[in-house]
Amino acid sequence: MGKALPVLLVLILVASTSGVGAFEFELDGLMDESYVIDLTEINGTIYALAAASSSGYACNGYVSLITISEDGKLQNWTLLPNISTDVELWPWFGMERVRNTLLLAGSGCNSMNPKIVQSWHVFVNGSFGYRGTAHAGLLASPVVLNDTVYSLVFHPLLGSSLVILGTGLPKELIAFPNLTLSSLATDGRLIYAGGVDRNGSTILLEVSPKGRPVRALRFPITATGDAVVRVAYVEEPILLIGMLNGTYMIQPWEGRAVFFEGVSLFDVETNGDDLLLVGVKGSRGAVVKVHGDKALLYTGERLLVTISGDILGGGGNGTMYVATLDRFLSQSKASEIRVLSLNVTSEIVTPKILRGLGNIGVGLRGKLRRAEGTLEIWPNPLDANVYINGEHVGNGSVKVTLPAGVYNLTAVAYNWPAYRYEGTVRVVPGKTIFVEAPLEWYRGWLLVGGTPYATVYVDGEAMKNIPANSTANITVDAGNHTVRVRLDGYRDFVTNITVEPFHTVHLNVTLEPVAVLYLISNVPGTKVYINGTYYGEIRNNELRIELPPGEYLLTAGRWGYLNYTEKLNLTAPSITLGEIRLRPAFGFLNVTSDPPGATVIVDGKNRGKTPLFISILQGTHELEVVKEGYEAYTANVTVLAERQRIVRVSLRHKSRMHIIITAFAIGAGVVLLALYITKGKKLRHHP
């Protein structure tokens, strides 16, 4: 998670994500466990710090930075190279925006010696170049105060240091040898550090930006087991102690605490007058919405570890997860949660301090890489051709680098396609995966007996005819197939089979005699009905229909053509070829006008002048008759096949009212002009 909710950052995130539409984003991390640990949003782009590894603290994981658009689409998936980690170290990860860079921080380990834990932090610029340091100790969530980046470094058996992060080794301000400090927050004036002392009691430190202790408070609440202690500043410092059986939320300035039973909470955010806390409840993600003394619990499928504004992050079971709060809540189950209110009395303590715990490390510099991994494929025998997602990538042992993801792997023996390997492989970012591909038989046999001379089709391909007094022996690829047995004059037999490698499937098929009707038509797409039942369209010049013996009425047609009918008398087994010839369904349109010589427009096309007699396709048409000086005539007319439609039109002269109005306007203008000319002149009276 890494973030300790500095007030400025919270305000920026809430404002900048307020317009983000609801979405849910999932990405296969390609390992047993994967989490989005921290989030931030910059100019409409969501940045997610994520880690993935095998289960059981194997220290074989990777760290990546994922960029997501504001509508939840993946933009970039990049890898921080040469860093091995484990997702169990997620509480020691964090991300902060620092001026024009993005600070990524976290912990790493060595699969050869998992007990040796170190940390790293890098500043990433806009072109994904980075610079930083790998060093000893566990690095806690960074915070930014006055453009200075503060963090904590915990050295097992030694204690914790408050440090300033730059591109070099962390600069120590003050050390607390008896404390395990794991989280930071700031109110813009002081720095708040949360953790535990050697007895497991919860500790909150107030420290000045120069590293001077202001106050240290100890609370009578013990963080047991693998408890995660987080500190946040939401109008006041808040301590979260997430344990397996529940979570304490301590509000030290109010002298109170609440216990959320059965839910482990790791991060907190404000939402109006509500507090939102995120975490897990059993195997499900949890959001607790606190309003005054009441709390509601929302649970969803994905585990949650962080909240930033209204964006949630988490994952689990190999999946990296980012979602808007609205989307998560809309898919969640809501219920009341039992909340125990407690009065807590803090004790002011004076922790032991010193300077000079020291640190060692090495510089890091480079560029985030595309999330790619490498496969080394070893088929057996070695002369096999190797295919990834159907594309040939080589033969024999093959080494190939691919974008992270899941791929289909096939290896086929040279000149012997029945001998093959098929499977799926995972390409893990930054990792080389060795794949052994032992080839085996991937073919079997199909024996079909029954009606002599019938043709056996496998997956639409004609294979063999059934010989008299014998069976058709067909070699097929292992897997699922559709088998069709066909003989003209008989009903098709169709079945689905599964052929196991190097096994035989037996079929004995006795076809049922039927009348087979083959229909062709001079018009593609002719629709066919038999006794009123629709049987399909004639496409590719043929339609095959199987029917029991009997008498039938065949009807065929298509829009724009006259229907075709024919009576059929079919016997079985038999083959009947029927030819359907459709005639266009034309009628006639006869248009006259008074006066004659008007232009006739049908469906937007000029068809001539009246009187007009034309043939036209049956149906409804838009008719327009126009002549200069007359009002246009428009109508929709329906023409029936082989019938004449007569339309007589009497055109009316156009109205002259607009001429009168125009003349009146001109006359009025003359009067006004005369008044304007004489304005101001003195009229003389002549006796």
Contact between 622 and 604 under an 8 Å Cβ cutoff? The reply is yes
* Buried b or exposed e, range 239-258, using 16+ CB within 10 angstroms: bbbbbeebbbbbbbeeeebb
Q: What is the DSSP code (8-state) at residue 581? A: -
Rounded Cα gap, residues 272 and 265, in angstroms: 20
pLDDT digit string, tens, across residues 596-606: 999 999 999 99
Local confidence band at 440 (pLDDT 50, 70, 90 cut-offs): confident
Q: Is the pLDDT assigned to residue 143 strictly greater than 90?
A: yes
Per DSSP, the three-state class of 327 is helix
Q: Is the pLDDT assigned to residue 377 strictly greater than 50?
A: yes
How high is the pLDDT of residue 408? 97
Task: Specify the CATH architecture of the domain 444-505.
Answer: Sandwich (2.60)
Q: Is the pLDDT assigned to residue 664 strictly greater than 70?
A: no
CATH class name, domain 373-441: mainly beta
Q: Is the pLDDT assigned to residue 657 strictly greater than 80?
A: no
How many of the other CB atoms lie within 10 Å of CB of 509? 18
Q: Is the pLDDT assigned to residue 618 strictly greater than 90?
A: no
Residue 29: closest CA among 2, 3, 57, 55: 55
Looking at per-residue confidence, does 10 or 655 come out higher? 655
Looking at per-residue confidence, does 656 or 395 come out higher? 395
How high is the pLDDT of residue 654? 87
Contacts of 263 (CB under 8 A, 6+ apart): 246, 247, 279, 280, 281, 286, 288, 297, 337
Highest mean pLDDT (candidates 119-123, 357-361, 670-674): 119-123
Query: Percent of the chain, pLDDT > 70?
Result: 92
Task: Specify the CATH architecture of the domain 515-580.
Answer: Sandwich (2.60)
Rounded Cα gap, residues 392 and 92, in angstroms: 43
Q: Is the pLDDT assigned to residue 13 strictly greater than 70?
A: no
Q: Is the pLDDT assigned to residue 380 strictly greater than 70?
A: yes
Q: Is the pLDDT assigned to residue 10 strictly greater than 70?
A: no
Half-sphere exposure of 12 (CA within 13 A, CB side): 14
Contacts of 179 (CB under 8 A, 6+ apart): 159, 160, 195, 196, 197, 198, 203, 205, 351
Contact between 304 and 280 under an 8 Å Cβ cutoff? The reply is yes
The sign of the torsion formed by the CA atoms of 422, 428, 430, 431 equals: negative
Q: Is the pLDDT assigned to residue 665 strictly greater than 70?
A: no
Contact between 237 and 231 under an 8 Å Cβ cutoff? The reply is yes
Which amino acid is it at 455?
A: T
pLDDT digit string, tens, across residues 632-650: 999 999 998 888 999 999 9
Local confidence band at 303 (pLDDT 50, 70, 90 cut-offs): very high
Q: Is the pLDDT assigned to residue 402 strictly greater than 60?
A: yes
How high is the pLDDT of residue 641? 85
pLDDT digit string, tens, across residues 407-418: 999 999 988 877
How high is the pLDDT of residue 11? 24
What is the helix (H) or strand (E) element at residue 657, kind and residue range?
Answer: helix 657-678
The Cα angle at residue 367 between residues 361 and 371, in degrees rounded to 5: 110
For residues 279-284, average pLDDT: 95
Taking the alpha carbons at both ends of the chain, their separation in whole angstroms is: 109
pLDDT digit string, tens, across residues 336-355: 888 889 888 899 999 999 87
Query: Percent of the chain, pLDDT > 90?
Result: 71
pTM, to two decimals: 0.66
For residues 445-461, average pLDDT: 95
pLDDT digit string, tens, across residues 86-125: 999 999 999 999 989 999 999 988 777 767 778 999 999 9
The Cα angle at residue 427 between residues 423 and 432, in degrees rounded to 5: 110
Rounded Cα gap, residues 57 and 55, in angstroms: 6
- Which alpha helices (DSSP H) does 366-519 contain, by range? none
7-348 and 515-580 share one fold: no
Ranges of each domain in the chain: 7-348, 373-441, 444-505, 515-580, 585-678
How many of the other CB atoms lie within 10 Å of CB of 534? 10
pLDDT digit string, tens, across residues 183-207: 999 999 999 999 999 999 999 999 9
For residues 296-312, average pLDDT: 95
pLDDT digit string, tens, across residues 159-170: 999 999 999 999
Q: Six-digit token pair at 267?
A: 């991060």
How high is the pLDDT of residue 328? 96
For residues 624-631, average pLDDT: 94
The pLDDT mean for the chain works out to 88
Q: What is the DSSP code (8-state) at residue 169? A: S
At the fourth CATH level, which superfamily is domain 585-678? Carboxypeptidase-like, regulatory domain (2.60.40.1120)
Local confidence band at 172 (pLDDT 50, 70, 90 cut-offs): very high
Per DSSP, the three-state class of 523 is coil
pLDDT digit string, tens, across residues 463-515: 999 999 899 999 998 889 999 999 988 999 999 999 998 899 999 999 999 99
Phi, psi (5° rounding) for residue 12? -60, -45
Q: Six-digit token pair at 232?
A: 């946040």
Per DSSP, the three-state class of 514 is coil
Per DSSP, the three-state class of 510 is coil
Q: What is the CATH number of domain 7-348?
A: 2.130.10.10
Q: Six-digit token pair at 262?
A: 């059965």
187, exposed or middle or buried, with CB in 10 Å at 0-12, 13-18, 19+? middle
